[in-house]
Structure 1
């Protein structure tokens, strides 16, 4: 997969998440912005009246309360907004969005693998770990949870990429001061990162981060990620 295809596709899908799909959820719920992984892409959780809206590959999808679905090829934010019934869609940008099918698949798989890895982490949580729900956040376009007891709590997630990373990566951003050592290798934020891998490897990475934080404890708090 060529880097420029990953980047342009990620930017386009991120724009759809932040500019169309999340606002549609806000319109339906009044205040909820978080999204979730859907097969082949992402979308809203089930909406109050039933159904959901989202993205599958290179298409915008609207699923009705009775399960019927309508799809259209991604072209612009304006057309996507109009298709899903977003109020004010006419004011959205009409610039073409560049979405490559292969790159969209890579990014969807990274989100899906991240969802599986985070769910495995939650399933093995201890009584004090207090994991949050898994959300796909439109601001960063990453899938993440909050995890760990208060003094070792952090954000655990998988990003499809950003300005510093062309390819997807897993990360842990402690809320308290991180321990020393090579494990904590991130440079764009205070924490650790690894290339996105298969789910078991990412879960092992998350668990090791939690173990190191638990062993360390204490310290000053850096700025949390996301």
Structure 2
């Protein structure tokens, strides 16, 4: 997959997350912005009245309280907002420009989120309450899925990003809350654009092994 359609699809989905899907959850709950991984994409958790909205590939999906699902092709933010039921004033304020979509890129990003979600769940499996594990959320601002784990100087954010201004490809990352003693491209803590470690987001087992290696370093001596 060429980086160009991957980046374009990521930006289109990111715009939907920030401009439509998360605001729809805020409208339904009053304050909750976090999203979650859904089959072939992402969406809201189940809404207070039942149902959810989100994406599946290059489609926008609206599931009613009775489980009835409807879908339309992703076109513009304004059309998406009206389809999911966002307040009309908020929908009218959104751009009506057609978003760039690529089916292959959408599937790649969906796989990244699914593998990342599986790895994060594996990381949290059996975690001690003393480590204060945080829920796994897909955050609309940075468009990554992440959790937090650890106490004191061992606490870190563990996540998977579909890419950003510094990364054209998806990647897994660990961002310690206390900066490691040694950082840089030749160290474990090799992240570009932030303090932490990053690795390619490949399969769930490799992502989980990376998370566990970072966890071991942090608990052994604050980052190594």
Interval containing the TM-score (normalised by the shorter chain): over 0.9
> Match of 2:157?
155
- 1:137-166 CA distance string (max 9 Å, x none): 000000000111122101100000011111
> Is residue 19 of structure 2 the alignment partner of residue 14 of structure 1?
no
CA distance in 1, matches of 2:206, 2:138: 20
Residues 218, 41 of structure 1: alpha-carbon distance in 2 compared, 3 angstrom cutoff:
closer
- Tell me what 2:118 maps to: 116
Give the TM-score of the pair, scaled to structure 2.
0.95
Q: Distance in 2 between matches of 1:89 and 1:127?
A: 42
Determine the C-alpha separation between the residues in 2 that align with 1:98 and 1:210: 38
Please state whether the residue corresponding to 2:130 is helix, strand or coil: coil
In structure 2, the CA distance between the partners of 1:62 and 1:218, relative to structure 1 (3 Å rule), is: closer
State yes or no: 1:73 paired with 2:73: yes
Unaligned runs of 5+ residues in structure 2 are none
Which consecutive aligned stretches of 4+ in structure 1 deviate over 6 angstroms post-superposition? Answer: none
How many positions carry a matched residue from both structures? 219
SS at match of 1:28: helix
Instruction: Specify every segment of 5 or more residues in structure 1 that has no aligned partner in the other structure, as ranges.
Output: 220-226
Considering only aligned residues, what root-mean-square deviation do their CA atoms show, in Å? 1.3
Q: How does 1:156-195 map to 2 (within 5 A)?
A: 156-180=158-182, 182-195=187-200
Equivalent-residue separation in structure 2 for 1:180 and 1:206 (angstroms): 18
Contact 2:43/2:54, CA 8 A, preserved across alignment: yes
State the TM-score, normalizing by the size of structure 1.
Answer: 0.94
Q: Deviations over 1:20-60 (max 9, x none)?
A: 00000000000000000000000000000000000100011
State whether structure 2 residue 219 is matched by structure 1 residue 214.
yes
| Partner Cα separation in structure 1 for residue 54 and residue 223 of structure 2 | 41
Rounded to whole Å, the distance in 2 between the matches of 1:215 and 1:207 is 12
- Residues 56, 77 of structure 1: alpha-carbon distance in 2 compared, 3 angstrom cutoff: same
Correspondence for 2:207: 202
**Local SS of the residue matching 1:99:** coil
Aligned position for 1:30 = 30
1:218 to partner: Cα distance:
8.7
